[in-house]
Amino acid sequence: MKINATQIINETIAIFKNSGADKLFSDFVKDEDYKRLHPLPLTATSIWIDTEEFKKEIAIWDFTFEQWGKDHTHLPRYGAALVNQNGTLLKNDPINGSLMAWNRDNPDKPLIETGCRTPTALMDLPSLQPLSVFNGYWCRSNILKWNCDAKFLPHIDTVVPSPWIRLWASMNPEIIVRFYNEATGELESVEFETGRVYVVDTSLVHDAVAVGDNIYQLFLSITPNAVSLVDLVIDPKRA
């Protein structure tokens, strides 16, 4: 099925402009750096998470997950904060949901990824310590927990030049992730390895759907000045 990627991108940009969120951007990844770091929709890094250890550890923190945002609440999508505004695990934390939707519904209180810089206790999980290479560079980040049929509809998370770099990993194989192919006008699925951390090009329209239960994803953001660190961890055999 073909999608109108231009419309999706323009609608997202309009929301950020109308809320004033775009005025909060202060630093950007240079265009040439962004292109180098994103040769593919998912660019593999050398960072791995032990998925079985992660699942054991996160089970103790299950109480921290809450419904993902205020839209599409019939979908079994849940989030917990890894990095938020104050480092406290809160109920009704705005980062446990789409910030596009937050800025649409709260134009007087715009919020962007780089407005969230403080790790929560979840970032201290032993299984997540391979991520410590990015300590000091974190911005808004989450753990997502999905059950079967949970999905993100086609969307973007940034434009180029981008005010942040997005990383992603899935702890389970039962999820389909698709990215827009300009040549075909369609969303096409991509392969990934569970537990491997990827640099993800969220300037491309993309979507995802879970085809199993208890699907955990790491939904991570780092600041633009982390470019040199990302260069170091990109796996040249997979890029």
In order of 8, 29, 103, 131, 226, the CA distances from 33 in angstroms are 24, 6, 28, 21, 11
Q: Domain of residue 141: give its range.
A: 28-96+114-233
Answer whether residue 166 is part of any domain: yes
Mean pLDDT throughout 147-166?
Answer: 95
Read off the pLDDT of residues 14-43 as tens digits, 9 standing for 90 and up. Answer: 887 887 777 888 899 999 999 999 999 999
CA R_g for the chain: 17
**Residue 159: which of 6, 2, 9 has the closest Cα?**
9
- Whether 103 is in a domain gets the answer no
3-state DSSP assignment of residue 126: helix
Range from 10-19, 67-76, 113-122, 184-193 carrying the lowest mean pLDDT: 10-19
Residue 165 lies in a domain: yes
Helix (H) or strand (E) holding 209: strand 206-210
Whether 207 is covered by a domain: the verdict is yes
| 144, part of any domain | yes
Residue 143 is part of a domain; what is its CATH number?
2.60.120.330
Per-residue pLDDT tens digits for 38-78 = 999 999 999 999 999 999 999 999 999 999 999 999 999 99
Q: Is residue 17 a part of any domain in this protein? A: no
Q: How many separate domains does the chain show?
A: 1
User: pTM for the full model?
Assistant: 0.95
Domain-located, residue 50: yes
> Is position 109 within any domain?
no
**DSSP-derived secondary structure letter, 72:** S
